[in-house]
């Protein structure tokens, strides 16, 4: 088991920036002759405007439509011939593309990715069918799932003033409304080397690939005057939000609470980020609901037998304000109105009595072990670095969490619990299949 004393550990990497602004990060791993090649753009759903939601995700789809040099389908065929895999994904803070291939195929991947960074070809014949694909994707995922439909509305209320309240896939009307010109404008504005990071993980090092990186990505030039990212502020609230809904399609009732919380880069309601708070919240989530021995599971599942599952989670790596989440799956015969008092009792006890040194040490060990083993996987290592860079971090600060975790005290964890697990910062969402599952509560959403 990894030891907390390893706080000085730094992820082995080589990092530099090309003259055109492209960040390059290389994480060597020589165990197998494979490399994960990825490009991360510092743009995502959070950068969209109202009425144009989903453009980041739509552009992700369109990036596979080809260029004059490499028509649609070329990259897919090359990756398959090389025995590799490829994919892309869009989130609030980023849009990313990757290929995992044998190391000798890396130069080809660079050439293909660099080509479409500058030379995407897009016609109405490309755009219109892909828009239908995205619209259908929304119908088959969000619109077909009662929980997704409900939480889309809840997030719009929780993040009422920021773009984290927009769905990544976009609102249905927006998908129907934007044009090929909208997508091209998005691409031309944001897809440029000075708004991207090249992350390589695997059997590779700078000495082997620097020349290839320079000749492919380095030759692109600084193509775009990328606008600075706008970090909107969600105003402070004086009262909690509660949303209850009934949907006959619901088989298993849902109870979920989001507490407003800082990320590693942005404080609540525009407050200055306090060093160490993000790691303290990470540990608090582990103590409160990170395992079957955590407080919530022990109280609601084992002792009171109100729930089949109870957990807590926290995401520190976000460009804007984050959330500290508590989720409970009630037992079949337990109404949702019984859950809040039980959860609040656990939280009140934690705040009043504080966490214990034993809980703190166990959480530290668990987090360090999980992160160490997770980053041992090439895809996960690439993903962790990409998220950190696009949220606002640097490789110089990438491993700061280890030092903060090692020095974290019981008092630090108790302080963030009192500061952020507050009534005014809480949004509670309850979704039932019928009125009986809500108990005394009445639907309002």
The helix-helix angle for 180-190 and 124-140 (nearest 10°) equals: 90
Domains of the chain plus CATH, in order, are 14-216 (3.30.830.10), 241-438 (3.30.830.10)
CB 410 within 8 A of CB 118: no
Residue with tokens 């407003």: 260
Q: What is the pLDDT along the chain (445 residues), one digit of tens a residue?
A: 334 445 567 899 999 999 999 999 999 999 999 999 999 999 999 999 999 999 999 999 999 999 999 999 999 999 999 999 999 999 999 999 999 999 999 999 999 999 999 999 999 999 999 999 999 999 999 999 999 999 999 999 999 999 999 999 999 999 999 999 999 999 999 999 999 999 999 999 999 999 999 999 999 986 678 999 999 999 999 999 999 999 999 999 999 999 999 999 999 999 999 999 999 999 999 999 999 999 999 999 999 999 999 999 999 999 999 999 999 999 999 999 999 999 999 999 999 999 999 999 999 999 999 988 887 899 999 999 999 999 999 999 999 999 999 999 999 999 999 999 999 999 999 999 999 999 999 999 9
* Residues 316 and 235: beta-carbon distance below 8 Å: no
Cα 379 from Cα 385, distance rounded (Å): 10
Contact 57, 134 (CB under 8 A): yes
d(CA 344, CA 423): 10
What does residue 348 show for φ and ψ, rounded to 5 degrees?
A: -60, -40
Q: Which of 37, 429, 392 has its CA nearest to residue 228?
A: 392
Interstrand relation of 23-28 and 196-202 (parallel, antiparallel or unpaired): parallel
Q: Which helix (H) or strand (E) holds 329?
A: strand 322-330
Q: Which residues are catalytic?
A: 60
Question: Using an 8 Å Cβ cutoff, are 286 and 294 in contact?
Answer: yes
**DSSP-H helix ranges across 275-399:** 277-289, 295-296, 339-353, 357-374, 378-391
**Contact present, 170 and 134 (Cβ < 8 Å):** yes
Q: Report the predicted TM-score, pTM, of the whole model to 2 decimal places.
A: 0.95
Query: d(Cα 253, Cα 332) in Å, to the nearest integer?
Result: 8
């Amino acid at each position: 088991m990894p030891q907390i004393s390893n706080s000085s550990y730094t992820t082995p990497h080589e990092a530099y920036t090309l003259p055109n602004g492209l960040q390059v990060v290389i994480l060597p791993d020589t165990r197998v002759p494979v490399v994960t090649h990825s490009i991360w753009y510092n743009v995502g759903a959070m950068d969209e405007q109202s009425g144009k939601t989903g453009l980041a995700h739509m552009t992700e789809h369109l990036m596979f439509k080809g260029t004059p040099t490499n028509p649609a389908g070329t990259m897919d065929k090359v990756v398959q011939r090389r025995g590799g895999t490829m994919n892309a994904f869009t989130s609030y803070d980023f849009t990313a593309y990757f290929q995992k291939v044998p190391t000798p195929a890396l130069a080809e991947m660079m050439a293909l990715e660099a080509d479409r960074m500058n030379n995407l070809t897009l016609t109405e014949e490309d755009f219109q069918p892909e828009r239908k694909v995205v619209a259908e994707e929304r119908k088959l995922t969000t619109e077909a799932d009662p929980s997704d439909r409900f939480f889309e509305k809840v997030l719009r209320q929780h993040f009422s003033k920021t773009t984290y309240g927009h769905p990544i896939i976009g609102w249905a009307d927006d998908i129907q409304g934007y044009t090929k010109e909208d997508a091209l404008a998005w691409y031309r504005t944001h897809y440029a080397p000075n708004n991207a990071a090249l992350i390589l993980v695997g059997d590779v090092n700078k000495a082997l690939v620097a020349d290839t990186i320079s000749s492919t990505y380095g030759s692109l030039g600084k193509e775009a005057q990328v606008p600075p990212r706008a970090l909107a502020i969600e105003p402070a609230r004086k009262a909690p939000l509660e949303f209850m809904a009934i949907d006959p399609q619901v088989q298993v009732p849902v109870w979920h609470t989001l507490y407003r919380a800082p990320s590693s880069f942005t404080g609540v309601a525009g407050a200055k980020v306090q060093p160490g708070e993000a790691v303290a919240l990470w540990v608090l989530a582990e103590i409160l609901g990170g395992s079957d021995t955590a407080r919530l599971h022990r109280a609601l599942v084992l002792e009171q037998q109100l729930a089949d599952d109870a957990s807590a989670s926290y995401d520190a790596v976000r460009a804007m304000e984050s959330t500290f989440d508590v989720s409970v799956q009630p037992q079949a015969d337990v109404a949702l109105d019984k859950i809040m008092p039980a959860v609040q009792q656990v939280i009140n006890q934690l705040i009043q009595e504080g966490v214990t040194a034993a809980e703190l040490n166990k959480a530290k060990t668990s987090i360090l072990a999980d992160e160490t083993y997770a980053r041992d996987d090439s895809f996960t290592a690439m993903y962790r670095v990409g998220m950190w860079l696009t949220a606002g971090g640097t490789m110089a600060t990438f491993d700061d969490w280890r030092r903060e975790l090692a020095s974290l005290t019981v008092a630090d964890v108790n302080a963030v619990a009192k500061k952020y697990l507050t009534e005014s910062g809480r949004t509670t969402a309850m979704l039932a299949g019928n009125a009986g599952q809500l108990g005394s509560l009445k639907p309002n959403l």
